[in-house]
Structure formats: C-alpha cells, structure tokens
C-alpha cells in the first residue's frame, strides 16, 4: 500500500458500485465482521452506493464492544486498589461497567495509565517492583501476539509483579454463532483483514463449506469494502461458497507463523462471554497453565464476579446485526458518547458511534 488516497478514489468506487449493480439479480444480505469496515461504510456512505437489493449488516466486529460488563467490573475493582498500576489502551477507559468506568477510577485517584503496547506495562513493572502492574489484554487475534509476547517476556525476566486481565476473543466462532442463530439472515461475510494478517484464512474454509456461505477477506478503505462486496455478490449469484482474499496486499493464506507460534505457546482456547450475546464456545483465549501466575483474575481473586447488562441497552442485538443503532430508543438521547449505556457508543469501532458521528441527522437524531 503506497497511499491511502488510492483506496479512496471516488471514480474507482463508482465503477465498483456499478459492477455490483450489474451483477446483482436478487436480494442479498452481507455482514461485515469488523468495526473498521463498519465505520468506513457509514463514513463514506458505501451502503448508499449499492443497489437496493444489497443489505449490509453490521456484525460483532469491535473487540471493545463485545467485552462483557463483568470484565469491566473486574478491571474497576483491580484498578481501584492502592497497590496497582492498571494499564490499558485508551478506548477501554470510558466503557461502562455496572457502576463506573476506568476513567472514573482514574479521576478518583486510581493509578490508571494509557499505554500504547503491552511491553510498556512490562517496563512499568520493572520500574515499580513494589507495585502490581496489570495490563488489560483485550482484542481479537490481531492484538493477541503482542500480549502473548509481553507475558512470555515477563516470565523470561522473572518479573513477578506483572499480570494480565484477559478478555481476548476469536472471530471464527463468532461467525458460527451468528449463523447458528434462529434469527440469522446473513448470506455472506466480509472477514476482517487485520485479523487474517495474523491467522491466515485456513479457519474460514470449513465455515464456508459447512454453512454454505461465501467469506471474503477484505480491508477497511472504501475500495477494499466495495471490492469485497463485489466478490461476495459474484459468489452468491453463481451459487459458490468459497473463501476469497480481497486484501492480498496484507493477508497471506498461512498468516503470520511466528505470531501464531507465540499465541500457541502462551494461550489456550476457552469459552468466552460476549457483551450482549452470551457465551460462545471456544471463542476466547486464556493463559496456558505454565503462565497461570500471570493471570490477574486469579491473582486478585475476581474470577467469580458476574454482572447483568443494562436492560435499556440493545448492544447485543446491534452486535448480532438484528437491529440498527438508531432503532434503539436511547440512541442519541439517553445514550451518547459522553454518557454511553453500552460499549458500541463509546468505542472507536462501535456501530452506534459510527451512526452517531456520521449519520445522526439522517436517522432523525439532532
């Protein structure tokens, strides 16, 4: 990739939209499984360029959004301790828990720090040996290798005051959960390119074959998304169900082998609860037993904490593509970025945030 502009060329975008229109002969529902793609679709009006027969459905593609409320409550409890330096990426600080968020903990005197890498947290642990340093390890497969490396590095250096609060989730099981839902109406998927730069495409083949759905790996710029939609429509119209790679400039079929080895060394698959959706089998990562001492859940005794989602928030329905953000009665009124009811309104990749920022007036919100 040389320049962003070459993937935002309006003339090329119109040509792709015309090709999609010329290929489409019947209605099709396509889900993008990436919050970055959702924001591109709404920001650039890509869905409005498509023929009426094509419906783009927003999926559970935002790792911040799917972090369950009890994980936020655990983070709040740990970060409130006077002996803890709690490290997180910035987009997690405003995600609401049952009572408060991490930003509130920070305003109340908790040592909550925004870091740009898990290795920053490891460095803080070395610098402050009398403090417990906890890193909030969230994300899809994209961020997992770096978090695994941080744990492995802490173990190699014998750093005993470092731990991670785990909330890693995996994309392929979420796709299966969408397809298994009795409310499912998705007929094809745009898979997340950044995830597949790590994992490759091998896990998606069995899903495409079992569920008879096309899966096209694509990026996050307008031409990426439209190119992915065109490939999906061509497959749907031809009755094909295959995995195709529209993001070949970054994704290889085998993925990133060193990153995958690092993940396998440090993590194991476990069931994981998703905010608003519930538990999905084999959809999460936890530490291997040999790294169990670095598990913040275990270290601080918060394993059994549970919490209920706020009844007014329809995040689960939005994340599964059952409803659009503006169909929530609280959207833009009782739920705004400054006072979010749910994570999709505050996350930089959340669908509610995308509609609030780019399409609020069009949906009747002022």
Using one digit for the tens of pLDDT, what is the confidence trace for 97-117? Answer: 999 999 999 999 999 999 999
Tens of pLDDT, residue by residue over 82-102, are 999 999 999 899 999 999 999
Task: Please compute the mean of the pLDDT values over residues 63-78 and round it to a whole number.
Answer: 94
**146 DSSP β-pair partners:** none
Position 6 scores a pLDDT of 85
Q: What is the DSSP letter of 100?
A: -
Question: Average pLDDT of the chain?
Answer: 94
> Does residue 16 lie in a domain region?
no
Position 365 scores a pLDDT of 52
**Cβ neighbours of residue 180 under 8 Å, at least 6 residues apart?**
none
**Cβ neighbours of residue 257 under 8 Å, at least 6 residues apart?**
none
| Continuous H helices in the chain | 10-23, 35-43, 46-49, 69-79, 102-107, 118-127, 144-157, 171-180, 193-199, 204-211, 222-238, 257-266, 296-299, 315-319, 343-346, 351-358
> Does residue 134 lie in a domain region?
yes
**Residue 4's pLDDT band (cuts 50, 70, 90):** confident
Tens of pLDDT, residue by residue over 269-314, are 999 999 888 999 999 999 999 999 999 999 999 999 988 888 889 9
* Domain count of the fold of the chain: 1
CATH of the domain at 294: 3.40.50.11740
Query: Cα(299)–Cα(132) distance, rounded to whole angstroms?
Result: 10
> Does residue 152 lie in a domain region?
yes
Task: Please compute the mean of the pLDDT values over residues 128-140 and round it to a whole number.
Answer: 97
| CB 310 within 8 Å of CB 271 | no
Query: Cα(27)–Cα(15) distance, rounded to whole angstroms?
Result: 20
Position 360 scores a pLDDT of 81
| CB 216 within 8 Å of CB 189 | yes
> Does residue 195 lie in a domain region?
no
> Does residue 56 lie in a domain region?
no
Position 223 scores a pLDDT of 96
Of residues 348 and 170, which shows the higher confidence score? Answer: 170
> Does residue 237 lie in a domain region?
no
pLDDT at 2 over 70: no
> Does residue 157 lie in a domain region?
yes
Q: Measured on CA atoms in the order 360, 362, 364, 366, is the torsion positive or negative?
A: positive
pLDDT at 364 over 70: no
Task: Please compute the mean of the pLDDT values over residues 48-72 and round it to a whole number.
Answer: 94
HSE (CB half, 13 Å, CA atoms) of 42? 26
89: containing domain: 69-169+257-299
**Cβ neighbours of residue 156 under 8 Å, at least 6 residues apart?**
none
**51 DSSP β-pair partners:** none
Plot region of 37 (φ>0 → left; ψ -120 to 50 → alpha; else → beta): alpha
Query: Cα(182)–Cα(43) distance, rounded to whole angstroms?
Result: 31
Q: Measured on CA atoms in the order 292, 195, 259, 153, is the torsion positive or negative?
A: negative
The least confident of 54-58, 61-65, 126-130, 175-179 is 61-65
**Residue 222's pLDDT band (cuts 50, 70, 90):** very high
> Does residue 339 lie in a domain region?
no
| Nearest alpha-carbon partner for 44 in 354, 350, 331, 364 | 354
């Amino acid at each position: 990739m040389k320049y962003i502009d070459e993937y935002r060329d309006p003339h090329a975008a119109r040509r792709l939209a015309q090709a999609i229109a010329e290929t489409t002969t019947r209605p099709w529902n396509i889900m993008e499984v990436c919050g970055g793609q959702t924001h591109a679709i709404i920001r650039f009006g890509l869905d409005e360029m498509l023929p009426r027969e094509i419906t783009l459905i927003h999926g559970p593609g935002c790792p911040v959004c799917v972090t369950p409320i009890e994980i936020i409550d655990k983070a709040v409890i740990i970060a409130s301790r006077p002996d803890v330096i709690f490290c997180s990426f910035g987009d997690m600080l405003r995600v609401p828990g049952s009572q408060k968020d991490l930003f509130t903990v920070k305003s109340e005197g908790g040592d909550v720090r925004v870091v740009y890498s898990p290795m920053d947290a490891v460095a803080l642990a070395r610098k402050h040996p009398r403090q417990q340093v906890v890193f909030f390890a969230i994300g899809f497969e994209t961020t997992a290798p770096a978090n695994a490396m941080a744990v492995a590095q802490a173990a190699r250096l014998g750093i005993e005051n470092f731990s991670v609060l785990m909330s890693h989730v995996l994309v392929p099981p979420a796709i299966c959960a969408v397809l298994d839902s009795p409310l499912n109406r998705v007929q094809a998927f745009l898979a997340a390119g950044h995830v597949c730069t790590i994992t490759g495409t091998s896990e998606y083949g069995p899903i495409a074959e079992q569920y008879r759905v096309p899966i096209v790996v694509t990026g996050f710029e307008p031409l990426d998304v439209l190119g992915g939609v065109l490939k999906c429509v061509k497959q749907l119209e031809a009755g094909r169900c295959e995995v195709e790679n529209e993001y070949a400039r970054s994704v290889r079929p085998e993925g990133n082998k060193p990153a995958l080895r690092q993940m396998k060394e440090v993590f194991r698959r476990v069931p994981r609860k998703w905010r608003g959706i519930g538990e999905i089998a084999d959809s999460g990562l936890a530490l291997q037993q040999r790294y169990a001492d670095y598990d913040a859940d275990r270290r601080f005794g918060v394993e059994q904490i549970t919490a209920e989602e706020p009844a007014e928030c329809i995040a689960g329905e939005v994340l599964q593509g059952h409803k659009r953000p503006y169909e929530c009665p609280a959207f833009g009124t009782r739920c705004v970025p400054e006072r979010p009811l749910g994570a999709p309104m505050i996350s930089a990749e959340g669908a509610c945030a995308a509609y609030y920022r780019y399409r609020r007036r069009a949906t009747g919100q002022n």
